[in-house]
Amino acid sequence: MYFRALTLTTLVCCIGDLCDGREVVFGKVGGEVKLKPTVNQPIFSITWKSGLNKAAEWETGQSTPDYYTICKPRPRCQLNTATGELKIMHLTLNEKLDLSAEINGMAAQSFFTVIALEPVSKPSVKKICENTQCTLVCEGKDTTYTKYSWKENNEMIVGNTAMLHVEKSDKLDKSYTCVFSNPVSTAESDPVNFL
């Protein structure tokens, strides 16, 4: 009985690892992404699926691929039959797609999650000073994938924080800039150089 339980536990862990092994591909809203499956042999047939539904399909003898679901109604996808690469165009706001590629009738071995993001907005910096210290706060339209970092005199000094604590100075020899980014874009605040 112990052996059966161990085997079942191992199988569940392997399936869980397979699901977590997706390649996340970010794309800009209105833009495109290219998904490249793992291919170790000549391609005779390929089926791309979005969840359980077909998205694109081709097999030897067809002049052009067939497109379904996410690839319709307008031309939205292009399938490269030589490499298996699927290009998805015209990404829409908040779009998230789970895709897989089946090559030559074999079970899918390439899994992708496509996430469409808007470019970040230009951030602004709010300054709060007390005695000898100032706190600089980077403000912008925050999203799930937004990251903050700071530059001092155009050199990166700290990342992953919206706040920066600095010493007050009468000199104007230092400037601070907030860098606001996500996987598809980067924007910088105007420099703050009066402390």
CATH code at position 151: 2.60.40.10
Domain presence at residue 134? yes
Say how far apart CA 87 and CA 65 lie, in whole Å: 13
Over residues 151-155, the mean pLDDT reads 90
Q: How many residues does the chain have?
A: 195
- Last-in-domain residue among 83, 117, 151: 117
- Token pair 């703050």: residue: 192
In terms of pLDDT, which residue wins out, 182 or 14? 182
**24 & 93 share domain:** yes
Quote the pLDDT of residue 19: 46
Q: 3-12, 76-85, 102-111, 121-130: lowest mean pLDDT where?
A: 3-12
**97 & 179 share domain:** no
Number of domains in the chain: 2
**38 & 68 share domain:** yes
Output the CA–CA distances (angstroms, integers) from residue 155 to 13, 133, 152, 179, in the order listed.
44, 21, 5, 11
Over residues 148-172, the mean pLDDT reads 86
Domain presence at residue 143? yes
DSSP E strands: which ranges in 51-109?
53-59, 66-67, 77-79, 86-88, 96-103
pTM above 0.85, yes or no: no
Quote the pLDDT of residue 194: 64
For the beta carbon of residue 175, count every other beta carbon within 10 angstroms: 15
Alpha helices in the chain (DSSP H): 2-20
Over residues 147-172, the mean pLDDT reads 86
Strand order in the sheet with 33-35: 33-35, 86-88, 77-79
Alpha helices in 22-124 (DSSP H): none
**25 & 109 share domain:** yes
Mean residue pLDDT of the chain comes to 86
Over residues 70-87, the mean pLDDT reads 93
Q: Which of 195, 150, 158 is nearest to 174 (CA)?
A: 195
Q: Which of 43, 46, 109, 44 is nearest to 77 (CA)?
A: 46
What share of the chain has pLDDT > 90, as a percent?
66
Quote the pLDDT of residue 16: 37
Q: For the segment 131-140, what is each residue's pLDDT rounded down to a tens digit?
A: 888 999 999 8
Confirm if 192 and 176 have CB atoms less than 8 A apart: yes
Q: For the segment 2-56, what is each residue's pLDDT rounded down to a tens digit?
A: 434 333 333 333 333 344 579 999 999 999 999 999 998 999 999 999 999 999 9
Most confident of 1-5, 55-59, 167-171: 55-59
Domain presence at residue 41? yes
Quote the pLDDT of residue 20: 58
Output the CA–CA distances (angstroms, integers) from residue 10 to 3, 17, 19, 25, 92, in the order listed.
11, 10, 14, 29, 39
- Last-in-domain residue among 84, 117, 150: 117
DSSP 160: S
Quote the pLDDT of residue 160: 83
**93 & 28 share domain:** yes
In the chain, the N- to C-terminal Cα span, in Å, equals 71
- Last-in-domain residue among 94, 117, 140: 117
Using 50, 70 and 90 to split pLDDT, how confident is the model at 69? very high
Domain of residue 46, residue span: 20-117
